Each structure stands twice: as structure tokens, then as C-alpha cells.
Amino acid sequence: MLCTYGCQGEAPMMMLRCLDDQELTRLYREHVCRDFPPMERRPLRTMLALRRQGCYAAYVLAAGEETVAYAMVAGDAQGRLLDYLAVVPDQRNRGLGSYMLGALARREEGMLLTEVEDPGEVEGTPRELRLRRIRFYEKNRFQDTGLRVRVYGVAYRILVRDAQGSPRETLECIYRRLFTPSIYRSQVQFLRCGHREEPVSYGAGP
């Protein structure tokens, strides 16, 4: 069954729709595979499995029948991590990314977290692009939590919108749902200032 959420905006009216398995599969094949390189794509089978466990959701922002933006979030009522956010190529530079975030925050409620590559890192995405992404989220009411996390070797700053409770505890819970215990132990590291690894406790996951 589809969930719909109406948002008053440009004509035609924008609708935020929660996708079922079939629609998520179509979105993944038609959009995610085009917009993200293979190394940045979470496997579709993993998304579907997490969705069926109740800890993953996919949304599209649609103008009539046309998809203009989409997002995936992981987590539960305690808090969500923005896993993907994209505007379709021919709809970019119209403010739809911000529109999507606002609609998503109202639909999900509670804490919304996001990872942004740390501008202090030398490798990977160009520094100016990382700073531009941070400014985009700050413009959309996200704040730096002070958390720094290295996942699969990539260092991220963790930003939050509508913080309620502990972002650190919420993020740890989400990561434990996204990764197996062995991957969590080997590939997820919470960092202190200066990127020194901070020991974490590895209790039994949920």
C-alpha cells in the first residue's frame, strides 16, 4: 500500500510518496543506478530486506506522475539516517533538494541524521564539493553534531535536524541494523578530533 503526503508548492502540487517493494525496485534500476556509481550503491536486495524488517524506507517527490527527487532513510521512530538523496538531472537547481528534505522531515518526524564527507580528508570527493554539501544541509536546518565517523575507510561529519535524545546512540543503533556484527566491528569507527580512532563497545546488536 502506498503512503502519500501532500505538500503545497509549485504547480503541479508535489506529493511525497512512500514506495513499496516493486516501486523501490523500479526506482533503483531507473534512477539509483544512473545517479550513483557502483561503489556507492547499497545492493537492492539489502534495501528490500531492511525495508521488510521495518528499518528502511524509500520516498519519491512527484509532480503529478513525474518523479523529481527521491530519498532513502534507515532507522526507526527513534531517528533516521538519510541514506540517499537525489534530484533527477533535468530538475536540478530548482530548490527541489531542499523541498524534499522539508517534506521528508515532516513525514518522518523525530531526529534526521546525515553523513557528509569530512572536508579535512585529503582523499575522495573534492573539498569544495564537500563544503557545498555541508552548506546545503545547514541551510536546511541541519547542525553539526560534533560526531566524526569512518565507514569503509571514508571519514564523515554527522549532521542532525530536529535532534531529540542522543545522536551518537541513535546512529550506533542504525549502523548495527545496516551492517552485520563483523562488518560493524571492522568497518565502523567513531573518531575523536584529529581523526584518532575512538574505542567503541561492541554489544550484541538488535
Kindly report the CATH number assigned to the domain that includes residue 57: 3.40.630.30
Exposed, middle or buried, 158 (CB in 10 Å: 0-12/13-18/19+)? buried
The reply to whether 160 and 181 lie within a common domain is yes
Do both 128 and 34 map to the same domain? no
Tell me which residue range forms the domain holding 8.
1-109
Taking the alpha carbons at both ends of the chain, their separation in whole angstroms is 27
CA distance 104 to 161: 11
Residue 12's pLDDT is 56
How many structural domains is the chain composed of? 2
- 97, 117: one domain: no
pLDDT score for 109: 76
Both 10 and 78 in a single domain?
Answer: yes
> pLDDT, tens digit, for every residue of 35-71?
999 999 999 999 999 999 999 999 999 988 899 999 9
Distance in angstroms (rounded) separating the CA atoms of residues 195 and 148: 8
Q: Of 63, 94, 109, which residue sits at a domain end?
A: 109
- Residue 69 sits in the same domain as residue 29: yes
Using 70 as the pLDDT threshold, list the residues of the chain that sit under it: 1-12, 122, 193-206
CA 22 to chain centre: 21
pLDDT the model gives residue 126: 85
- What pLDDT is recorded for position 193? 53
Please indicate, yes or no, whether residues 50 and 145 belong to a single structural domain of this protein: no
Question: Is the dihedral angle over the CA atoms 34, 73, 174, 2 positive or is it negative?
Answer: negative
Same domain, 7 and 95: yes
Instruction: Say yes or no: 8 and 81 in one domain.
Output: yes
78/164 same-domain check: no
> Based on the domain organization, do 24 and 43 belong to the same domain?
yes
Whether residue 123 is found in the same domain as residue 157:
yes
Final residue in a domain of this structure, among 49, 75, 109? 109
Same domain, 103 and 136: no
Where does a domain end: 64, 83, 109? Answer: 109
